[in-house]
Amino acid sequence: MNKAFIVIIALCFLYACHNTTFVQGKRYYTDLCASCHMEDGTGLVALIPSLQNSEYLKNEQAKLPCIIRKGIPDTSFVAMPAYKDLTAYEIANIINYINSSFGNNIGPQTINQIEARLTACD
Amino acid sequence: MNRLGIPLAILLLGFFYACQETQVQALPKIGNMEINGKDTLFHTIPEFSFVDQDSNVVTNETLSEYIYITDFFFTSCPSICPVVMKNMITIHEAFKDHEKVLLVSHTIDPKRDTPTHLKRYAANLGVDQTKWKFLTGDKDALLDMADEYFVVAIEDPEAPGGFDHSGKIILTDTNGHIRAFCEGTDADEVKQFIPKVNQLLKEYE
């Protein structure tokens, strides 16, 4: 077979993979979070915080695993729910998806970091 | 050329017909209708009396000059409401400067959603409250009213937030007839709903 052809196919796969990073995290986000924070991360005015270009995400990485597992108590109208049954891996998928989406450009958290942070908040 | 002529003519007529149809079709009046002698009675929103976020009483009379866009929600709703609200805001942005259009959101959780609570909620949404009424009142009357707009709304302790309801957005004319609706959770349907509001407005020009 033609070598160039193989290279092109390989590049296509690479590109496809690159484009679908955190595909699992995106699925969890769509299922669990998008009903409030919206598909595009814009949230709902002053009621539900936007996750776009988020200062919170930039500054509070250490808190993320805990707020996903524990939620945030109802301070006004809608409460941020607690996702008690998500595993550390699932939480990692979600965090790494939002860290790299909605204009956020924050590096991923490792599974070790997340497990340590979850132990600290339990 | 001659052999092509007839199919071409048919095609052209088809286009002509397709264009015409979209121009003349009026919005339907939705719901059961009754023929009563020579009058046709269309489904009509019955009398109601609720209270808005400023504690003003709102009745059919209050709305009779307006075409209005309705939904049913509650402020603590964790499921579909935020997305429906987001789409209601899109509709609000499109019509807030139009004197003939109002938005009317009914809570189905009046115990929690008092006028003061709704006032704070509306302020948090940052919307023009002269053009968007948030109604509360007697719970059964609110749930019955959802029925009249063909919206499912029932109390269900098993459902998220304690109520099971659909996120329909409904367009009602000055006579209390329902003229269009869409699924408020579906941004594409909402996009197609907005031109229908404009189409209804033309009836009042």
Residue B2 lies in a domain: no
* Interface mutation vs chain B, best among A37, A78, A80, A83, most B CBs within 10 Å: A78
Domain extents in chain A: 21-121
**Minimum distance, in Å, between the CA of residue A27 and any CA atom of chain B:** 17
Q: Report the alpha-carbon distance of residue A104 to residue A102 in Å, rounded.
A: 6
Q: Is residue B20 part of a domain?
A: no
Can you tell me the distance from the alpha carbon of A112 to that of B47, in angstroms, rounded to the nearest whole number? 62
Q: What is the pLDDT of residues A13-70, one digit of tens each?
A: 555 544 457 999 999 999 999 999 999 999 999 999 999 999 999 999 999 999 999 9
Between B8 and B107, the higher pLDDT residue: B107
B124 is a domain residue = yes
ipTM of the predicted structure? 0.80
The DSSP string of chain A is --HHHHHHHHHHHHHHHHHTTTHHHHHHIIIIIHHHH-TTS--BTTTB---TT-HHHHH-GGGHHHHHHH-B--SSSSPBPP-TT--HHHHHHHHHHHHTSTT---PPPPHHHHHHHHHHH-
Q: Is A35's CB within 8 Å of B79's CB?
A: yes
Per CB-CB distance under 8 Å, the chain A contacts of B89 are 45
Q: What is the span of the domain harbouring residue B68?
A: 40-204
> In chain B, what percentage of residues exceed pLDDT 90?
73
* pLDDT tens, position by position, A51-63: 999 999 999 999 9
B162 touches chain A (CB under 8 A): no
Residue B9 lies in a domain: no
The answer to whether position B29 is within a domain reads no
Quick check: is B14 in a domain? no
**Structural domain count of chain B:** 1
**Average predicted confidence (pLDDT) for chain B:** 90
Q: Quick one: CATH architecture of A21-121?
A: Orthogonal Bundle (1.10)
> pLDDT of B62-95, one tens digit each?
999 999 999 999 999 988 999 999 999 999 999 9
- Domain of B65, CATH number, reads 3.40.30.10
